[in-house]
């Protein structure tokens, strides 16, 4: 079945299904499908698009790219601190080596914590990290993966707080998750 045949069923999608399909289409760069999905949102009285249809998408678009941007910045610090630690070792600077090794480990812990929160969130919501808005930052994040401190561990409390924020952005009022009647 091609996309045009599927598009006639878009008005029947629940908000979560529409959001998931919209994120997937966006990740593929399929602007036409994104427009078709958003255009199929139910309408509120007066013929305007139902605001509930867009609220979850807007929350996800606000929260996720911000977190991916932080992850990208932390990735930069992981690589930078690793290089600075090596430079201090080469110069025989024991105090500098100790300081940079501590910073490298701290940044590696934060990197792993963000990764764990995003991976868990995506797994719980049947998404991939590549489908998330802002995923164009992933190549810079992957560079840091090879440079992580081997002893850097996930901060479980911080992971829980990040996961909570992501879930709050994703969740909708469960009682209103069914697609409302389309106004004609």
Element (H, E) at 155: none
Q: Please give the backbone phi and psi of residue 150, each rounded to the nearest 5 degrees, phi first.
A: -65, -20
Provide the pLDDT confidence category of residue 55 given band limits of 50, 70 and 90. Answer: confident
Radius of gyration of the chain from Cα atoms? 21
92 and 129 belong to one structural domain: yes
Q: Are residues 93 and 153 in the same domain?
A: yes
Residue 119 belongs to a domain? yes
Q: Is 176 part of any domain?
A: no
Looking at the fold, whether 75 and 157 belong to one and the same domain comes out as yes
Clarify whether residues 16 and 92 are in a common domain: no
Does 118 lie in the same domain as 35?
A: no
**Structure-token pair, residue 95:** 């105090």
What is the dihedral sign for C-alpha 86, 88, 92, 97? Answer: negative
In a domain, 175, yes or no: no
Hey, is 14 helix, strand or coil?
coil
* Same domain flag for 130 and 69: yes
- Helix %, strand %, coil % for the chain, to 5? 75, 0, 25
Q: How many domains does the chain have?
A: 2
Share of the chain above pLDDT 90, in %: 48
Kindly indicate the confidence band of residue 50, based on its pLDDT and cuts at 50, 70 and 90.
Answer: confident
Same structural domain, 11 and 88: no
CB count in 10 Å sphere of residue 171 = 13
Mean pLDDT of 32-56: 82
DSSP string, 68-136: HHHHHHHHHHHHHHHHHHHHHHHHT-HHHHHHHHHHHHHHHHHHHHHHHHHHHHHHHTT--GGGSTTGG
In a domain, 177, yes or no: no
Residues 65 and 121 in one domain: yes
| Domain that residue 22 falls in | 3-41
pLDDT band at 5 (very low <50, low <70, confident <90, very high): low
In a domain, 153, yes or no: yes
Judge whether 19 lies within some domain. yes
- For residues 91 and 119, membership in a common domain is answered with yes
């Amino acid at each position: 079945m091609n996309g045009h045949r599927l598009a006639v069923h878009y008005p029947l999608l629940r908000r979560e299904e529409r959001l998931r399909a919209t994120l997937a289409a966006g990740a593929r760069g399929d602007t036409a499908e994104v427009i078709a999905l958003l255009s199929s949102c139910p309408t509120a009285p007066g013929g305007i698009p139902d605001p509930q249809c867009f609220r979850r998408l807007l929350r996800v678009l606000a929260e996720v790219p911000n977190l991916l941007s932080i992850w990208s910045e932390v990735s930069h610090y992981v690589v930078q601190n690793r290089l600075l630690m090596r430079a201090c070792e080469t110069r025989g600077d024991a105090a500098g080596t100790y300081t940079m090794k501590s910073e490298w480990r701290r940044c590696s812990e934060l990197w792993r914590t963000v990764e764990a929160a995003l991976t868990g969130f995506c797994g719980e919501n049947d998404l991939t990290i590549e489908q998330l808005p802002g995923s164009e930052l992933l190549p810079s994040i992957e560079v840091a993966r090879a440079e992580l401190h081997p002893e850097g561990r996930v901060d479980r409390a911080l992971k829980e707080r990040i996961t909570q924020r992501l879930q709050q952005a994703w969740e909708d009022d469960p009682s209103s998750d069914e697609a409302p009647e389309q106004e004609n």
